[in-house]
Amino acid sequence: MAAADELAFHEFEEATNLLAQTVNEATTRGDQLVPQQHVAVAMDSGGSYGAGDEVEESDKTALLQEEKQQPGFWTFSYYQSFFDVDTSQVLDRIKGSLLPRPGHNFVRHHLRNRPDLYGPFWICATLAFVLAVTGNLTLVLAQRRDPSIHYSPQFHKGKRSGQGLVPGGAGGRRCRGPGAITCLARSDRGRHRHLLLRVARAAGTVGLPAVAQGCPGAHGALHLPGDGVRLWLLPLCLHPHCGEWGSGMGGPPAPRGQPGSSCLCHPQVLWLIPVPWLQWLSGALALALSATGLVFTLWPVVREDTRLAAVLLLSVVVLLHALLATGCKVPGWGGHRLGLGRGGWLAGSDADPGLSRFSFTSSSRYLWSPRHLPTRPHLSPQPYYCHRPRQGPQQPRKTGARRPNVRGCLCLPCPPDGD
Amino acid sequence: MAEAAESPGDPGTATPRPLFAGLSDISISQDIPVEGEITIPMRSRIREFDSSTLNESVQNTIMRDLKAVGKKFMHVLYPRKSNTLLRDWDLWGPLILCVTLALMLQRGSVDSEKDGGPQFAEVFVIVWFGAVTITLNSKLLGGNISFFQSLCVLGYCILPLTVAMLVCRLVLLAEPGPINFMVRLFVVIVMFAWSIVASTAFLADSQPPNRKALAVYPVFLFYFVISWMILTFTPQ
């Protein structure tokens, strides 16, 4: 068919132009140029379609629609679409989020409308472990300085910090950060569909399943017009990544677009240095950098609102992020109590006799424990009179009371005077 | 397998047949009487598969499974690019290793202290849920490894860390001090690197080439957590 061959030559050029224009169809049409039916379709692309071409056209539209409609949330491939990143993309997004630039929209430039969930999850996991590990390390280092502190592996603190860090995880201030940011962003845009879900996350009662629940909405949201559509995943993506900043360490790979808690992995290492003002300084620096990243990313989205609303929203975002940062720093959440200059929470405290009972790790020894330490202090509820020097009000000492000749604090109760 | 189209006009002909050929002759057809002897060259092999494993002694069963587990241990200790762990996966080895590790890591005290080492259940849960999470991650990234194969590989690659735990416990019986700690640190680091290398050798091929690092990083984190638990273990 000479005519078809002639057409084939022309069609190829036109078809390549078409391919250049419609990127989505490139891979689907590329191998269909040879059959003449498709050649005819390509020629008549703008106008009418022949009877024989309707099948091809319907296939094409069906394919496009299939690309637009995501699989249902009960299928595995739905979740696979959230992990569709390469190593180079992930590293690129980390770099982009670590160095926020004012005119450089992170969402557009790095995310390119394809957020992922690899980053939020693994950054948070890494942050939880880093908190636990550095908390443990701080304890060891402090024990070396002050041998009266008992060392223990502190396993449950790590567990707690891990639980708190999961976005929307159980309880605590931390989880409120990302959830509340999402809530604010969504409400600001007026997309109420999943507002309640986000509020539930902000309350800290729903864990990662909340992410999955929010996915259907987000997924639909991703294809709605406007910048607000990305806001669902944006805070989730944004938040862990900002945590990367500020420590001076390389940090774990943060998947795209998550300025957020990944910034906080870094100060953990600097917080090992037992100088209080340095710790607060590094924490403030990390907070400033990550908050800057968040603000730069969110500003193009919220500036369309009234000035007051935009400023209010951004200030709440920064405040919640600051809560997260201080939550890492403040003792009891895997932070470094010992960096606060006290002897550590393991020290007995006469101010709170009930607390002192739990202030011992009882049967754990510290890392270089001498063999002669007793393994079990008694756990009586009486207040302890401790022989070693402590900050705070000094306890009355019996005259002639001798400091026991062992390393480490025993906190044996002194016999009461005259009783 | 019972529908032999070609068969069996004369089951008595003793022609050399491929494996399982005898099974294809077991078709009950109305017009072809099936009788006579079926002689198949690989007869002994067929007989072995014919007899169910219910009839063998318990010792046979246990020894067979133990040998399979031991063979896989060897593959982990000397990691080569082989498919044995993936092809014949089983979860006995990971269970044995996890239980051993958890028994050694638990703190022996019974008082309700808040911050000591992990309990048995905590180690168990960490190992298994960590392995499940990593498997899910690698599948979501597009790996073509099955769920249980990945669990099998991750579980078997805990073997070096279990050996490290044993060594650490022995070392802790000696005089404590900085040298003690250095020895333990060295042993744990070496075994940690060994675990990573072993698991990467088995798992890396199943990932798309541009996502290998994304799949290996959670493995790194997983073994790091276990190594940390081993290193910070303090006896009572």
* Shortest alpha-carbon distance between residue B209 and chain A (Å): 9
pTM: 0.57
In which band, very low, low, confident or very high, does the pLDDT at A183 lie, cut at 50, 70 and 90? very low
Give the pLDDT confidence score for residue B151 in this predicted structure.
92
Give the pLDDT confidence score for residue B162 in this predicted structure.
95
**Measured between CB atoms, which of A129, A136, A159 is closest to B221?**
A129
Interchain pair B234, A159: CB under 8 A: no
In which band, very low, low, confident or very high, does the pLDDT at B227 lie, cut at 50, 70 and 90? very high
Separation between Cα atoms, residue A363 and residue B233, nearest integer Å? 13
B22-B28-B32 Cα angle (round to 5): 95
Separation between Cα atoms, residue A219 and residue A84, nearest integer Å? 14
Separation between Cα atoms, residue A375 and residue A173, nearest integer Å? 36
Separation between Cα atoms, residue B127 and residue B139, nearest integer Å? 18
Please report, rounded to a whole number, the percentage of residues in chain A having pLDDT higher than 90: 2
Q: Where are the domains of chain B?
A: 54-231
Q: SS3 breakdown of chain A: % helix, strand, coil, rounded to 5?
A: 55, 0, 45
Tokens of residue B131, six digits: 């392995």
Nearest-10 crossing angle of helices B212-231, B92-105: 40
**H or E, element range at B5:** none
Give the pLDDT confidence score for residue A376 in this predicted structure.
53
Q: What is the mean pLDDT of chain A?
A: 58
In which band, very low, low, confident or very high, does the pLDDT at B182 lie, cut at 50, 70 and 90? very high
Q: Are A264 and A253 in contact (CB under 8 A)?
A: no
Whether residue B186 has pLDDT greater than 80: yes
Mutate to test the interface with B, among A73, A78, A80, A87 (most CBs of B within 10 A): A87
A116-A117-A123 Cα angle (round to 5): 120
**Measured between CB atoms, which of A118, A136, A371 is closest to B214?**
A118
Whether residue B99 has pLDDT greater than 60: yes
Q: Among A3-12, A310-319, A332-341, B217-226, which range has the highest average pLDDT?
A: B217-226
Q: Among A68-82, A121-135, A282-296, which range has the highest average pLDDT?
A: A121-135
Work out the number of other CB atoms within 10 angstroms of the CB of residue B182.
Answer: 10
Q: Are B105 and B117 in contact (CB under 8 A)?
A: yes
Separation between Cα atoms, residue A280 and residue A325, nearest integer Å? 10
Residue A85 backbone class (left: φ over 0; alpha: ψ -120 to 50; beta: rest)? beta
pLDDT, average across residues B114-119: 66
Separation between Cα atoms, residue A215 and residue A209, nearest integer Å? 10
Interchain pair A363, B224: CB under 8 A: no
Separation between Cα atoms, residue B35 and residue B28, nearest integer Å? 10
Which positions ≥6 away from A50 have C-beta within 8 Å? A40, A44
Phi, psi of A244 (to 5 degrees): -65, -30
Of A253-262, B26-35, B70-79, B99-108, least confident by mean pLDDT is: A253-262
Report CA A254 to chain centroid distance, whole Å: 9
Of A203-207, A377-381, A390-394, A403-407, least confident by mean pLDDT is: A203-207
In which band, very low, low, confident or very high, does the pLDDT at A337 lie, cut at 50, 70 and 90? very low
DSSP B46-93: HHHHHS-TTSS-HHHHHHHHHHHHHHHHHHHHS--S-SHHHHT--SHH
* Shortest alpha-carbon distance between residue B24 and chain A (Å): 39
Cα first-last separation, chain A: 119
* Shortest alpha-carbon distance between residue A48 and chain B (Å): 41
Q: Are A33 and A13 in contact (CB under 8 A)?
A: no
Tokens of residue A175, six digits: 């989880």
Tokens of residue A74, six digits: 């009960």
Q: Are A232 and A218 in contact (CB under 8 A)?
A: yes
| Chain B residues with beta carbon closer than 8 angstroms to that of A362 | 109, 111, 113, 116
Give the pLDDT confidence score for residue A101 in this predicted structure.
77
Whether residue B57 has pLDDT greater than 80: yes
Half-sphere exposure of A16 (CA within 13 A, CB side): 5
**Measured between CB atoms, which of A252, A367, A371 is closest to B181?**
A367
pLDDT, average across residues A180-203: 38
Q: How many CB pairs under 8 A join A and B?
A: 110
Report CA A286 to chain centroid distance, whole Å: 14
pLDDT in tens, A20-74: 555 554 444 444 444 444 444 444 444 444 444 555 555 665 555 555 566 788 8
**Measured between CB atoms, which of B116, B177, B228 is closest to A364?**
B116
* Shortest alpha-carbon distance between residue B213 and chain A (Å): 6
pLDDT, average across residues A337-346: 36
Separation between Cα atoms, residue A194 and residue A233, nearest integer Å? 12
Give the pLDDT confidence score for residue A178 in this predicted structure.
45
Separation between Cα atoms, residue A242 and residue A295, nearest integer Å? 11
pLDDT in tens, A245-286: 333 233 333 334 444 455 566 666 677 777 778 878 888 887
What beta strand segments (E) does A39-123 contain?
A: none
Q: Among A166-170, B181-185, B203-207, which range has the highest average pLDDT?
A: B181-185
Give the pLDDT confidence score for residue A14 in this predicted structure.
54
Separation between Cα atoms, residue A27 and residue B187, nearest integer Å? 52
pLDDT in tens, A99-114: 877 777 777 777 777 7
Query: Could you give the ipTM of this predicted complex?
Result: 0.71
Give the pLDDT confidence score for residue A218 in this predicted structure.
35
Whether residue A17 has pLDDT greater than 90: no
Q: Are B223 and B231 in contact (CB under 8 A)?
A: no
**A384: which DSSP letter?**
P
Q: SS3 breakdown of chain B: % helix, strand, coil, rounded to 5?
A: 60, 0, 40
Report CA A300 to chain centroid distance, whole Å: 22
Give the pLDDT confidence score for residue A240 in this predicted structure.
52
**A75: which DSSP letter?**
S
Give the pLDDT confidence score for residue A110 in this predicted structure.
74
In which band, very low, low, confident or very high, does the pLDDT at A295 lie, cut at 50, 70 and 90? confident
Interchain pair A152, B229: CB under 8 A: no
Whether residue A135 has pLDDT greater than 90: no
Tokens of residue B193, six digits: 């690197």
pLDDT, average across residues B104-110: 70
| Chain A residues with beta carbon closer than 8 angstroms to that of B225 | 129
pLDDT, average across residues B84-94: 85
B232 vs A18, which has greater pLDDT? Answer: B232
Separation between Cα atoms, residue A185 and residue A183, nearest integer Å? 5
pLDDT in tens, B58-85: 899 899 989 999 999 988 888 776 777 7
